Amino acid sequence: MKTPSVIPSSAWIFLIWLILMTLLPFSLILGMSFLQRTDLGNIVFAFSLKNYQQLLDWIYIKVLLKTLWLAFGATISCLMIGFPVAYFLARVQGPLKSIGLILLFIPFWTNFILRIYGIVSLFGSNGLFNQLLASVGAPQASILYTRLGVYIGLVYNYLPFLVVPIYSSLEKLDPFLREAASDLGATRFQTFRKVILPNIKEGVLIGSLFVFIPMLGEYVIPDLLGGAKEAFLGKVMVEQFFILQDWPLGSAIATVLSVLLLGALWLQNRWTSKNQQPQTQELGHAI
């Protein structure tokens, strides 16, 4: 692929923004992860791998695995709920579609904290959910401040981010492909499996990574819905910075997390470019 020789002027703004807001802070974090600190939390400028060695401790590995597992599960749940929703929205016409799309976008316009407190009031001990249980004589369910609470919060909060890319890849699909498949003898299920799914799997994968990656670093949701017991990677990281005053260790966690995310992005990129080789080539010619 050819790279453009001259960077357009508008791209400079983005480049400067990227350097100032992303590359620079990230370098600082990376640098800090190799430093040490005094017991009072002052930074000692001496190179050390101690922070990373500390992370090899089973406690941290367990937190990492737990976080990966929870984020993975929440992503799968988002897919299971989000896919039919996206499919329905792409197929339906008329007022139902407009209403559906508005409902889909309302969460994007609603304050994040507000949405989380919505969950709190829904599942709290006196919340709607428990009132409902009580009214049918069922025992109280403690969802808030458990892992299930974090899980529900993650699914609830990230669902729209998965529905949108799947919906848009379904919308982009030529509607005649469905007719062509059916015309050539495919049942509805065969059409879905052999034509629709292969053509949108990239959108599904990208959407899944779009929710999985930020879920890993999530801090607010586990903090507000998980309570003190639930150790989540993002939460542990923030605690290192602001409660335990161990900036170097916090930085090491942040670095590990970033490397994981970059690895996932690289894999995804490689996977899609392998599947879409000709298209990238074509794009290269267009540029």
Query: Where on the chain is the footprint of other proteins (CB under 8 A)?
Result: 174, 176-177, 179-187, 190, 194-195, 198-199, 278-279, 282
Q: Give the 3-state secondary structure of residue 6.
A: coil
- Supply the minimum distance, in Å, between the C-beta of residue 264 and other proteins: 24
Q: How far is the CB of 6 from other proteins (least distance, A)?
A: 28
CA distance 59 to 68: 14
Q: Which is nearer to other proteins, 4 or 185 (CB)?
A: 185
CB 43 within 8 A of CB 37: yes
Residue placing its CB nearer to other proteins in the complex, 188 or 270? 188
Length of the chain: 287
Smallest distance from other proteins to CB 168, Å: 16
Q: Which is nearer to other proteins, 126 or 279 (CB)?
A: 279
Q: Name which of 203 and 222 has its Cβ closer to other proteins.
A: 203
Q: Which is nearer to other proteins, 122 or 173 (CB)?
A: 173
Distances, alpha carbon 227 to alpha carbons 147, 216, 232, 251, in Å: 9, 17, 11, 23
Closest to other proteins by CB, 46 vs 287, is 287
Q: How far apart are CA 266 and CA 271, in angstroms?
A: 8
Minimum Å gap between C-beta 172 and other proteins is 10
Residues 212, 257: Cα–Cα separation, whole Å: 12
Task: Report d(CA 104, CA 85) in Å as an integer.
Answer: 9
User: Smallest gap, in angstroms, from Cβ of residue 115 to other proteins?
Assistant: 37
**In angstroms, what is the minimal distance from the CB of 87 to other proteins?**
18
In contact, 257 and 216? CB cutoff 8 Å: yes
Quote the distance between the C-alpha of residue 154 and its chain's center.
Answer: 9
**What's the Cα-to-Cα distance from 167 to each of 88, 137, 164, 277, rounded to whole Å?**
9, 40, 5, 24
